[in-house]
């Protein structure tokens, strides 16, 4: 399996029970090969079941999970990841992330990053990374595990929340940007600028938003419960936007953050004028 983070994957946030089983099954049938889950999603066992039932070989897949804040201590992190692996029916994941920096919780960053590095050394995960970290905390994490060890920072990023300063910092550090909430809970789907671009390409607005993120070098992990939308989203990989269209989308920034949980989120980096 390549060590690069796949540019396109399936997100499973908020999908539970048979809904997530069907979503993963449909996605794998359509050709998705990267699946993103997390301990707090409460769906790792169902994701594992859908993968097992699919017949797709484990080595053909890229699996990501995320450690929840309850399991950040050195005493818990590795054992909690082993439990995740049991649910996912595999002996390793390809990527394990710290889900939130959670500055209000008692376990210091150095402890959970060291424990995450230990999980990698044990072969439980091929790569390690972070999620929802700002620039300052990313620098701290690099200081603990070393340059080149953090594969990605998975952050909320959409045409309405472009996070340019953080994204630029990550790319300069050689850390892959993974965009979640790329469609801003569907809010961008009615955007007139994206709709006009989509019409020119005979594409959907979702495809335009996803293509925009991938064209900037970001990985995307959209979720859907609809087989039709799963198939349509996948086609975003073939869409190429012009420089002028990319510039049009750049004007849509409005600080439209959808996820900002108190006690878990850091102090967000504020973009300067583009």
43 contacts 20 by C-beta, under 8 angstroms: yes
Q: What Rg value do the Cα atoms of the chain yield, rounded?
A: 18
DSSP per-residue letters across 98-116: E----TTSSS-HHHHHHHH
Known active-site residue 41: yes
- Average pLDDT, integer, range 95-99: 98
What domains lie within the chain, and their CATH numbers? 10-182+217-222 (3.20.20.100)
pLDDT, tens only, 2-40: 358 999 999 999 999 999 999 999 999 999 999 999 999
* Residue 215 CA, distance from chain mean position: 16
Q: What is the pLDDT of residues 30-44, one digit of tens each?
A: 999 999 999 999 999
pLDDT at 121 over 70: yes
- How many Cα atoms sit within 13 Å of 136 on the Cβ side? 8
Q: Identify which of 184, 179, 226 has the alpha carbon closest to the alpha carbon of residue 206.
A: 184
- Choosing from 32, 41, 160, 180, the catalytic residue is 41
Q: In this predicted model, what pLDDT tens digit does every residue of 162-192 receive, in sequence order?
A: 999 999 999 999 999 999 999 999 999 999 9
Per-residue pLDDT of 53-88, as tens digits, reads: 999 999 999 999 999 999 999 999 999 999 999 999
Position 2 scores a pLDDT of 37
CA distance from start to end of the chain: 37
Question: Is 99 among the annotated ligand-binding positions?
Answer: yes
């Amino acid at each position: 399996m390549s060590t690069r983070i796949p540019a396109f994957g399936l997100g499973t946030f908020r999908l539970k029970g048979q809904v997530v089983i069907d979503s993963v099954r449909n996605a794998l049938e359509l050709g998705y090969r990267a699946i993103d889950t997390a301990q707090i999603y409460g769906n790792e066992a169902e994701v594992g079941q859908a993968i097992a039932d699919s017949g797709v070989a484990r080595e053909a897949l890229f699996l990501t999970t995320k450690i929840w804040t309850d399991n950040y201590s050195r005493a818990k992190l590795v054992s909690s990841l082993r439990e995740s692996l049991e649910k996912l029916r595999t002996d390793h994941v390809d990527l394990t992330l710290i889900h939130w920096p959670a500055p209000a919780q008692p376990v210091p960053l150095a402890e959970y990053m060291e424990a995450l590095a230990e999980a990698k050394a044990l072969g439980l995960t091929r790569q390690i990374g972070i999620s929802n970290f700002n620039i300052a905390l990313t620098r701290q994490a690099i200081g603990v595990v070393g340059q080149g060890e953090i594969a990605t920072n998975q952050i909320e990023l959409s045409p309405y929340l472009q996070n340019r300063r953080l994204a630029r910092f990550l790319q300069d550090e050689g850390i892959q940007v993974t965009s979640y909430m790329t469609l801003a809970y569907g809010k961008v789907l009615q955007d007139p600028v994206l709709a006009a671009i989509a019409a020119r390409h005979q594409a959907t607005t979702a495809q335009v938003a996803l293509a925009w993120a991938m064209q900037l070098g970001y990985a995307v992990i959209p979720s859907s419960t609809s087989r039709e939308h799963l198939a349509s989203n996948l086609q975003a990989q073939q869409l190429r936007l012009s420089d002028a269209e990319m510039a049009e989308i750049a004007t849509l920034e409005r600080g439209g953050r959808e996820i900002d949980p108190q006690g878990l989120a850091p102090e967000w980096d504020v973009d300067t004028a583009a």
